[in-house]
Amino acid sequence: MVQYSLTLTNKNTNQQYRYTIDLGKNYEDQPDSFFTPIVCHQIRNELESRSRCQINDISLQIIINIWIKDIKEGYRDSSLLLDLPAINHQNIHNLVESGNPEIPSLIYPDLSDVEPNIGALPPLDFS
């Protein structure tokens, strides 16, 4: 088994967080099969608990894709710089935001002062 590590640097605080995995020969050749949803969830939880920052689905996908790419190219150490927001409350994953479902009222433009400068139609030439 070979150890592969990812160093995640938070752009806001410049703090670094390291996560290490052990891969067997078959996973080294095909790292896509190692990163199952369960493994990705474990990586997210570990990095969030260490950094006290929120790692959303997009950030997690960036982390996994770059790590897979580096493993395929033979790099054992990967590093990544991300802008991660701090976690402000306990149940960040249970937050459901429905947004504002109301359709805003239409604003009609005032066309009373709009007039053509040189006429309504361009000059016509029938020659």
- For 20-65, write each residue's pLDDT tens digit: 988 888 888 888 889 899 999 999 988 888 888 888 888 899 999 9
Distance (Å, whole) CA 114 – CA 120: 12
What is the pLDDT at residue 38?
92
- E-only strand ranges, the chain: 2-10, 16-23, 77-82
Cβ neighbours of 6 (radius 10 Å) = 21
Q: If you search the block for the tokens 């002062």, which residue do you land on?
A: 113
Domains of the chain from N-terminus onward: 2-82 (3.10.20)
Average pLDDT, the chain: 82
Q: Determine if the pTM surpasses 0.75.
A: no
Percent of all residues in the chain with a pLDDT value above 90, rounded to a whole number: 10
Q: Which residue has the higher pLDDT, 117 or 83?
A: 83
Distance (Å, whole) CA 10 – CA 80: 9
